[in-house]
Amino acid sequence: MSPLKAEHLPHYTYADYAQWEGRWELIHGVAFAMAPAPSPRHQMVSQKIAAELERCLSTCPQCHALLPVDWRIADDIVVQPDNLVICHEPEGPYLTQAPHLIFEVLSPSTALKDRNIKYELYERAGVLYYCLIDPQINQATIYKLVNGRYVKEATISKENLDFEWEGCRLPFNFSTIWVEAA
């Protein structure tokens, strides 16, 4: 029996993706199931990130904090970041422009994809800030896009960090997002 090769695998597009039930991501034509659902701790941290983003953006008329929403990067790439900030009015059923800021909350089933595949996707797509949130150790690693490449800006736990772009300043307090282990 010959080994499985990439050319033997199906290559899906947005048209296929739009027909699927449940939560999926599509990366270079490969389907990734978003199941099982994130753990309660993962969801609590994501909810706290959303609350902190709302607080930070309360006076900014053009920026919006969003929870997972389809971002169609290409016909065969659709992702759903955990938390994100956009500075435009979205049109249609999915985003087509790169968010300015993305948070991915790591879990055992997604950490490898978030640290590698999504890192590269977001870097190429022009996401200005990419934050990897590790709720197991209450630590955030923040990358900033500089000359088309991500540079590690900080590894923090309870500090504040100012995210800045195009006249916007988002003073994010990381100490507000952690959930103590039960």
Whether 9 is covered by a domain: the verdict is no
Q: Among candidates 105, 114, 127, which has minimal Cα distance to 27?
A: 114
Segment 4-50, tens digit of pLDDT: 677 778 999 999 999 999 999 999 999 999 878 888 999 999 999 99
CB within 8 Å of 112: residues ≥ 6 apart: none
Q: How many domains does one find in the chain?
A: 1
Instruction: Say whether pLDDT at 182 is over 60.
Output: no
Whether 158 is covered by a domain: the verdict is yes
Segment 119-153, tens digit of pLDDT: 999 999 999 999 999 999 999 999 999 999 999 99
Whether 86 is covered by a domain: the verdict is yes
Q: Which residues span the domain enclosing 87?
A: 38-176
Whether 145 is covered by a domain: the verdict is yes
Which residue's entry shows tokens 């190429």? 124
Which alpha helices (DSSP H) does the chain contain, by range? 14-17, 40-56, 111-112, 118-125
Q: Is the CB of residue 78 less than 8 Å from the CB of residue 25? A: yes
Whether 22 is covered by a domain: the verdict is no
Whether 148 is covered by a domain: the verdict is yes
Distance of CA 53 to the CA centre of its chain: 14
Whether 4 is covered by a domain: the verdict is no
Q: Is the CB of residue 171 less than 8 Å from the CB of residue 56? A: yes
- CATH (domain of 116): 3.90.1570.10
* Type of residue found at 7: E
Segment 147-168, tens digit of pLDDT: 999 999 999 999 999 999 988 8
Whether 30 is covered by a domain: the verdict is no
